[in-house]
Structure 1
Amino acid sequence: MGDTTVTTLGGREAAVPPPVADETGQNPLRRPRTPRRPRLWFEILLIAVSYWTYSLIRNAVPEQKAEALRNADWLWKLEHQLGIAVEESINHTVNSVTWLIVGMNYYYATLHFVVTLGVLVWLYRSHPGRYAATRLVLFATTGVALVGYYLYPLAPPRLMVGGGFIDTVLVHDTWGSMASGDLKNMSNQYAAMPSMHIGWSVWSGLTIFALARIPWVRVLGVLYPAATLVVIVATANHFWLDAVGGILCLAFGYTVARLWYGALPHALPKRVGTRPHPPTAERERAGGRPPAAADVNAEPPTEEPSHRTEDGHPPARPRPTTHA
């Protein structure tokens, strides 16, 4: 059903199946998308609108205080059962070193945005072919986090009743926390799960580690999410398990990008318009070269005419003669 017929020169009719694939042999609906060259004005507008939308939705989630506090108590008990409930000890220890905890307060308030935007700018300038896929990871990660804020309201440790945690921003009167002081009415205070400080920092760290060529820069890429984990715990803004939630959201983001582009972002070509190397099997069939280049300047094999004798054997070749 749906086949068409073609009448050949001999008068016979042949069935022709409907076209379901393009010239590459892949279904156009399932073919991975090709990255396009990013446009600066569009990216600036997209990031601004996306962050505004993210903040609007996050803060529009009802602050279910009672449920958020119950969830925090349950999570705290779970961490005790797992033997990882050390957040309070870290919070009190770091708080006793004023210069250290003040630095962490500013770290928590600023680097979350500065480093993430810095990595996006670096990708745009130096890796345009990988920019769109890596940006998609970030957007998908943030999008699924909004679902977590709605479905699982969670109070941060510093807001727990009787938890013994110290709100380091209030104690040291430092700027930056959207959930403390005069800014607490501008942000949803009970959106601690998952931690996007971890989701975004691991995204930044993996991107730097995978694409940077300078060794010490790659080391910084690994240290950045590790330092962020210590900061969010020391400032009593998150539990350990909030960080696990952020990593799970990031894994979802990478899965979306892998399905959309057919490869992880770092495996895509650095420049737009270039093609990745063909699979190993294709290179072997082409004699170790890409298929497109295998036939370039290739000379057709020459075959000597075969004249056989009456008994079916090839004629004997004349022996070279030597001159004394």
Structure 2
Amino acid sequence: MASPFNVTVPVDEPEWNSAPAWKLPGWAEPIIVASILFGAMALTRRRGYRVFDKSKSRSVYTRLEDPDSNRSSDELLPFYSAEDSDQDFPSTSKFAPKKRNCCGTIIHTPNTSRFKNNIHSRVLQRFPFLIEMFYWIINYAFYRMTSITSQRIFAKTGIWNVAQTHGIAVLETEQFSWISFLFPVPERSVQQWFMHGHQDFLTVLNKCYALIHIPGTVGFICWYYYVAPSHKTFAIARRTMTLTNFCAFITFILYPCMPPRLLPVEYGFLDTVRHDDAQSVWMSGKYVNTLAAMPSMHFGYSFIIGLTMIYHSGLFRRTLEAGECRKSAFWKIFYLVLGLGYPSFILTTIVATANHYYLDAMVATCFVFLSFACNKVFFVFIPLEDLMLWAIRVDKPVPTTGDRFRERGGRI
């Protein structure tokens, strides 16, 4: 059935005159991301702890000793207490099972502290950020599967046609539904403004779209792991971002959506990514989902980063965390401007380059708030994590998040 709405426009597309600002070789982006990750791994290493010299590590490890070896997972569980762990196990066993609360059910899992002197446990204790790297590898693997899964679901109807229908439906919703007042300036008008006399700036936005998303998000995770006043605070941001990811992945699979730049030419959008050769290595390959406009994770990530920056400024908090000091006026304003400016810049970028609709950013924003409210859902996986660590004979490390904060008296 044909749509009663018409969102096509007469096309008078100006010629693309701007030359690409720069082009990175295919190996450069992975090197950049790997450098950020391994740099963070070195920066957040546990000082005074030696992997191969236990005698020099003994004094450091004494402070980390815990009879239940709860490690970073259990500091996130307010309903778990070390005192409770021995009530059901009065034996003299040094490695009594851990007591986990999973969906209201008490589960006893193996205690991995017996493996604390295994070489891979000591490597993790020295470089606890490796755990965070592992989490994000899992995230990336799930994303890679969204394209394959979606194609199989819509194999009979043709995923390209379905995604195009969804993209047009998004445009119609923005222009003709009851929420149309939220979008006074159409996306194509934004792009046309850049195309008429501001193509050099659009070239910069193309490159930023391609090259900031992954390195910028990875860099934020590394930075906040280092500067957050506590691992609990860091974990809230990380879990929120991870749950937002999974909400987006489900949407990518069930609601494939064509970005504006790939719609037929009569809809008035220019594919500046191809014109400007602004293709990221993370956006290419057969496993990359090019029909995943809804929601925009470019904006979703930037929105989480922006909110975290504002929180970190301390500007709107009456009370600070234990040991945390008030920042100077300069740093408060700096983090506030960054927190507001970064998501605003990304929103401009995704619309001007015709990679996303406004509605993509709106849905991403809703997913962020939902994920923040429900981020503790990941606690249900802690028993599974215990079993996995037991299977590979490794003890989970105590995070170093907050160590530098405490060492410097909160002045970071």
1:48 aligned to 2:137? yes
Match of 1:245 among 359, 363, 382: 363
The answer for the alignment partner of 2:344 in structure 1 is 226
Structure 2 SS opposite 1:92? helix
Match of 1:138 among 241, 259, 272: 241
The answer for the alignment partner of 2:162 in structure 1 is 67
Alignment of 1:175-324 (within 5 A): 175-176=279-280, 183=284, 185-212=286-313, 213=327, 214=331, 215-257=333-375, 271=402
- Aligned-pair CA distance for 1:259: 6.6
Alignment of 1:86-97 (within 5 A): 86-96=186-196, 97=198
- Count of residues paired in the alignment: 236
- Aligned-pair CA distance for 1:135: 0.8
Q: Find the aligned partners of 1:231 and 1:51 in 2 and give their Cα distance.
A: 23
Q: Percent identity?
A: 26
CA RMSD of aligned residues (A): 3.0
Q: Which letter maps to 1:254?
A: F
Paired residues of 1:195 and 1:243 also in contact (CA < 8 A): yes
Q: Which letter maps to 1:231?
A: T
Spell out, residue by residue over 1:249-283, the C-alpha distance to the aligned partner (whole angstroms, 9 max, x if none).
1112101226778xxxxxxxx848xxxxxxxxxxx
Q: Find the aligned partners of 2:240 and 2:144 in 1 and give their Cα distance.
A: 18
CA change 1:177–1:66 in 2 (3 A) is farther
**Higher normalized contact order (CA 8 Å, seq sep 6+, divided by chain length):** 2
- Aligned-pair CA distance for 1:93: 1.4
Q: Find the aligned partners of 2:377 and 2:141 in 1 and give their Cα distance.
A: 27
* Runs of 4+ more than 4 Å apart: 20-24, 258-261
Q: Which letter maps to 1:73?
A: I
The answer for the alignment partner of 2:271 in structure 1 is 167
Q: Find the aligned partners of 2:377 and 2:134 in 1 and give their Cα distance.
A: 25
The answer for the alignment partner of 2:222 in structure 1 is 121
The answer for the alignment partner of 1:106 in structure 2 is 207
Q: Which letter maps to 1:44?
A: M
Paired residues of 1:149 and 1:193 also in contact (CA < 8 A): yes
The answer for the alignment partner of 1:152 in structure 2 is 255
Q: Which letter maps to 1:145?
A: A
Q: Give unmatched runs, 5+ long, in structure 1.
A: 1-19, 32-36, 262-269, 273-324
CA change 1:167–1:52 in 2 (3 A) is same
Paired residues of 1:94 and 1:234 also in contact (CA < 8 A): yes
Q: Find the aligned partners of 1:173 and 1:132 in 2 and give their Cα distance.
A: 37
Paired residues of 1:115 and 1:204 also in contact (CA < 8 A): no
The answer for the alignment partner of 1:276 in structure 2 is none
Q: Find the aligned partners of 2:147 and 2:312 in 1 and give their Cα distance.
A: 31
Q: Find the aligned partners of 1:256 and 1:168 in 2 and give their Cα distance.
A: 37
Q: Find the aligned partners of 1:178 and 1:41 in 2 and give their Cα distance.
A: 21
Spell out, residue by residue over 1:136-184, the C-alpha distance to the aligned partner (whole angstroms, 9 max, x if none).
11111101111111221111111112211001122223333866xxx36
Q: Find the aligned partners of 2:209 and 2:195 in 1 and give their Cα distance.
A: 14
Q: Which letter maps to 2:373?
A: T
- Aligned-pair CA distance for 1:75: 1.6
Q: Which letter maps to 1:94?
A: F
Q: Which letter maps to 1:79?
A: E
Structure 1 SS opposite 2:374? helix
Whose Rg is larger?
1
Q: Which letter maps to 1:150?
A: I
Paired residues of 1:194 and 1:246 also in contact (CA < 8 A): yes
Q: Find the aligned partners of 2:277 and 2:375 in 1 and give their Cα distance.
A: 41
Spell out, residue by residue over 1:76-95, the C-alpha distance to the aligned partner (whole angstroms, 9 max, x if none).
12211215261011112113
